[in-house]
Amino acid sequence: MSTYKSAETASLEKGLADLHNSGQQSVASDDPSVPAFEYTAEEEQRVLRKVDWALLPGLTLLYLLSFLDRSNIGNAKLLGLMKDIGLAQNPAAYNTSLALYFLGYVLFEIPANMVLKKFNPKIWLPTLTVAWGITATLQALIKNEPGFYAARFFLGVSEAGLFPGIIFVFSLYYKRNERHWRVGVFFGGAALAGALGGILAWGLGHIKGGGLPSWGWVFAIEGIATVIVGISAYWWVPGYPKDAKFLNEREHAILIARLRAGSDSADNEPFNWAGVWDAFKDPWVIGYGMLFHFYAFTLYSLSLFLPSIIAQLGYASWKAQLMTVPVYAAAFACILFSAWASHRIRQRGSVIAAAGAVAIVGYIVLLTTHTPGSRYAGTFIAVAGIYSANGLLLAWPSENVSPQTKRAVSSGMQIFIGDIGAIVGSLVFRPSLSKNFYRIPLGISILYTGLGMILAAVLALSMARANRTGNASRAAAKEVKGEVPLGDRARDYRLQI
């Protein structure tokens, strides 16, 4: 745990002392200056439920809107976007626009999370939401190729920081072994966005006139909805635990005590450059990023090209949009199941690898079958596997990286490295390779997923070995320099494998 101690920590000591002998469960702090106190398991569960209701619905909604605003371009394409802006004869321009979105996202990912650590998330996250909502709305006014590319790039810039920022907020409110469940539910918002996006695109595609084409109404209405939610978020997005207004005095003290007993979340650690450099030098942090790199290739290529893939089965564009809905609904259920299974067996790497194997089965079905029904079934299997794997791997660093600055930067690094895979995926699924039902891109997807499975296994095995040896090698690297190993380099730190 971190050794940071501040006025906020000291101000809690009297309240914690007053709670001594007030319950049945004794909880001791890592800081010997803070007294232990008692509370019941029922009280703890009541606090946890309040935290869940304060964080999960609202933050999941923000991510749902984020995923909706980035992926609705696939539906807009089916509604005639490329033709209307003069790019019907340049189908590769669609892929270029996707790559530019992820370029903007990648470039601003780590800086955005560094800003988050320096400022309060209750201000930063709503500001990001309003910014990308405005940008998403303005896509309705696209007239030509330069405007198209600029809009997609700045949408990526303005969305950068939301996902890793929310993951960081989760790490502040939950113990390490509680986070993957919440990230799984939260990431399910991406699957729900896919389902909702198909329904909305079908409905909004029927709007005629009003000065906008049908695809323009998709951008405008969904973007304006994001702006409205973003403005309201200034009143309900939570800040740091010390400012948790949704808890009374006793509940707040219980929250701080349980976090202090199970993680570094209650520490008031200021932003520090040492944590930044430590994240960049940690091979496991690089490993988390590469793991997402392999799975992000398939995650975003599927989400952005699924309507086109289904349309290739011979369905009309409006039917292809609606047929994505059950695919994503099934993916949401599989995300929750994989989070439950991972919790029961207390493993992350093996479940991530197993989900990758499921996705490969789906890709093989897509490649080896020739009827619309069987290929449609293949999309169910592939999407379920890929989304389940990503729901777990994106929570992995938040469970294992400490202290806070290092964890915030690590979350940004994971998305930074991962979304380079998304850039590759958006370029590989180009029109010139769409022959034979995207045979070559789907083959590359199998390769990327297989590499992700191998890396997940390697990370899990190396972490298991570190746990058996008491994290000695990582601690020794600090001790050789005459430093006391803290956070995830402490000898008694145990990694979630």
Bond into 57 cis (ω within 30): no
Whether 460 has a pLDDT exceeding 50, the answer reads yes
Whether 213 has a pLDDT exceeding 50, the answer reads yes
pLDDT digits (tens, 9 = 90+) for 17-54: 443 333 445 444 444 444 556 788 899 999 999 999 99
Contact 318, 205 (CB under 8 A): yes
**Segment 383-391 mean pLDDT:** 94
Closest CA to 306 of 64, 70, 75: 75
Instruction: Grade residue 358 by pLDDT with cuts at 50, 70 and 90.
Output: very high
Identify the pLDDT of residue 485. 58
Helix (H) or strand (E) holding 153: helix 145-159
pLDDT digits (tens, 9 = 90+) for 148-157: 999 999 999 9
> Which domains, and CATH codes, for the chain?
38-489 (1.20.1250.20)
Contact 134, 213 (CB under 8 A): no
Residues 6+ apart with CB under 8 A from 245: none
Identify the pLDDT of residue 70. 87
Residues 6+ apart with CB under 8 A from 350: 456, 457, 460
- Token pair 């976007």 is at which residue? 81
- Torsion angle (degrees, nearest 10) of CA 144, 150, 153, 158: -120
Of all residues in the chain, what percent carry a pLDDT higher than 90?
A: 39
Instruction: Grade residue 138 by pLDDT with cuts at 50, 70 and 90.
Output: very high
Give me the chain's average pLDDT, please: 83
Closest CA to 93 of 473, 431, 490, 411: 431
Burial class (CB in 10 A: 0-12, 13-18, 19+), 21: exposed
pLDDT digits (tens, 9 = 90+) for 78-102: 888 999 999 888 888 988 998 999 9
**Segment 256-267 mean pLDDT:** 68
DSSP structure class, residue 35: P
pLDDT digits (tens, 9 = 90+) for 276-334: 888 888 999 999 999 999 999 998 888 777 777 787 777 766 677 788 888 988 999 99
DSSP structure class, residue 489: G
Structure tokens at 115: 């800003």
Identify the pLDDT of residue 145. 92
Q: Where do runs of H (alpha helix) occur along 312-403?
A: 317-345, 349-368, 372-393, 396-400
Whether 227 has a pLDDT exceeding 70, the answer reads yes
d(CA 127, CA 108): 15
Identify the pLDDT of residue 24. 46
Distance (Å) of CA 48 to CA 20, 41, 259, 473: 20, 10, 11, 35
Within 259-312, strands assigned E span none
Whether 451 has a pLDDT exceeding 70, the answer reads yes
Contact 170, 55 (CB under 8 A): yes
Identify the pLDDT of residue 6. 36
Rg value, the chain, Cα: 23
Contact 464, 497 (CB under 8 A): yes
Distance between terminal CA atoms of the chain? 19
d(CA 197, CA 202): 8
pLDDT digits (tens, 9 = 90+) for 421-442: 989 988 888 877 877 778 899 9
Of all residues in the chain, what percent carry a pLDDT higher than 70?
A: 86
Query: Helices 109-118 & 404-428, crossing angle to 10 degrees?
Result: 160
More confident residue, 74 or 378: 378
Identify the pLDDT of residue 265. 53
**Segment 218-244 mean pLDDT:** 92
Count the helix, strand and coil residues of the chain and give each as a percent rounded to the nearest 5: 75, 0, 20
**Segment 228-238 mean pLDDT:** 95
Question: Considering the entire predicted model, what is its pTM?
Answer: 0.80
Identify the pLDDT of residue 36. 59
Contact 291, 372 (CB under 8 A): no
Contact 299, 387 (CB under 8 A): yes
In order, the DSSP letters of 235-271 are TTS---GGG-TTS-HHHHHHHHHHHHHHSSTT--PPP
Residues 6+ apart with CB under 8 A from 462: 284
